[in-house]
Amino acid sequence: GNSVTQMEGPVTLSEEAFLTINCTYTATGYPSLFWYVQYPGEGLQLLLKATKADDKGSNKGFEATYRKETTSFHLEKGSVQVSDSAVYFCALSDWGGYQKVTFGIGTKLQVIP
């Protein structure tokens, strides 16, 4: 079956530090890959996505590249802000007669001033 692996954290960074959150996946087909973000007390919202190998998703300074050869979709940001403090979920979406979405456990990011 499909699976997504990411570290749970928490990851604590100082403001303006570089961020990397690793995500690797296992899938039988050709999935789409997503990063969702959950701010405190809210539901998840899409941060970025990539639908095929070598695609780069980007939004709000965050980037992730779909690497089929390493089955990875690592999230990066060059300079984090306090407002980026949230939980980040890596996910994959595959088609097996219905839309099947598999989420990682979520990585909590805390950015301190």
Partner 1 sequence: NAGVTQTPKFQVLKTGQSMTLQCAQDMNHEYMSWYRQDPGMGLRLIHYSVGAGITDQGEVPNGYNVSRSTTEDFPLRLLSAAPSQTSVYFCASSEGGTDTQYFGPGTRLTVL
Contact residues: partner 1, CB under 8 A: 8, 31-32, 34, 36, 42-46, 49, 51, 89, 93-95, 98-99, 101, 103-106
DSSP letter for 84, please: G
Is the N-terminal amide bond of 31 cis, ω within 30° of 0? no
Residue in the block written with tokens 């998840």: 44
Closer to partner 1 by CB, 99 or 113: give it. 99
**Closest CB 79 distance from partner 1, rounded Å:** 26
| Element containing residue 13 per DSSP (H, E) | strand 11-14
Q: How far is the CB of 50 from partner 1 (least distance, A)?
A: 11
Indicate the residue among 97 and 113 with the shorter CB distance to partner 1.
97
Nearest to 21, CA basis, from 51, 57, 63 = 63
Q: Which is nearer to partner 1, 46 or 112 (CB)?
A: 46
